Structure formats: structure tokens, C-alpha cells
Amino acid sequence: DAKTTQPTSMDCAEGRAANLPCNHSTISGNEYVYWYRQIHSQGPQYIIHGLKNNETNEMASLIITEDRKSSTLILPHATLRDTAVYYCIVRVAGNTDKLIFGTGTRLQVFP
């Protein structure tokens, strides 16, 4: 079973920041928070991951609360191409681990 809770859908205006929340209240100390997104008719795409520190890359920023029970994915300047389903996943990193997907958040970016 997925160990995360996300809103079903969100809207965001183009050019504005999109903030996607995720609750993972049962996360263990050795579990990372991963974010993937799936654009229509494509396979999921890796965005970012973190353990307890905030992370930033060229796609997004990840803010993890101090108690690690929730996190927020931030797309700083959303574009129409960011319209997708965003999945928040907790995962123990290792050679035999696997990703368990929930239903994700459907983000609609509008002009």
C-alpha cells in the first residue's frame, strides 16, 4: 500500500509557483521522499528526492518538514508543460527496493 497522502487535483496559473503537498506521517528514519511525474501517455519521470534536508535541482525544489511527516514539491514557475500527475513516494534506498505508487495529484496549469 502507498504510504503517502496527496490531494487528488490542483490548479495553477502559468508562471506562478505550484506547491504540491504530500503527507507521509508514518515515514521511517531511513526512508527517502521521492517525487515522480507522469505526463499524459508517457511513463513516470523522476523529479527529485530527499531524506531530511531541503533539495533543489533544475526541475523543482523539495521542502521536507523537520519532523519529516510531510513535504512540498515546488515548481517555481509553472508552465503548461508541467500539467501532469505528480506522485509522492517514500522509499528505502537499496538495490532491491521498489517504488509503490499512490494515485498522485493531477496538476492542471492554465494560461
Partner 1 sequence: EAGVAQSPRYKIIEKRQSVAFWCNPISGHATLYWYQQILGQGPKLLIQFQNNGVVDDSQLPKDRFSAERLKGVDSTLKIQPAKLEDSAVYLCASRSGELFFGEGSRLTVL
Binding site for partner 1 (CB under 8 A): 2, 36, 41-46, 49, 85, 87, 95-96, 98-104
Angle (nearest 5°) at CA 80 between 76 and 84? 85
Q: Closest approach of Cβ 104 to partner 1, in Å?
A: 6
What is the Cα–Cα distance from 39 to 4, expressed in whole angstroms? 20
Nearest to 87 by CA among 44, 29, 41: 44
- Of 43 and 111, nearer to partner 1 (C-beta) is 43
- Of 1 and 67, nearer to partner 1 (C-beta) is 1
- Of 27 and 47, nearer to partner 1 (C-beta) is 47
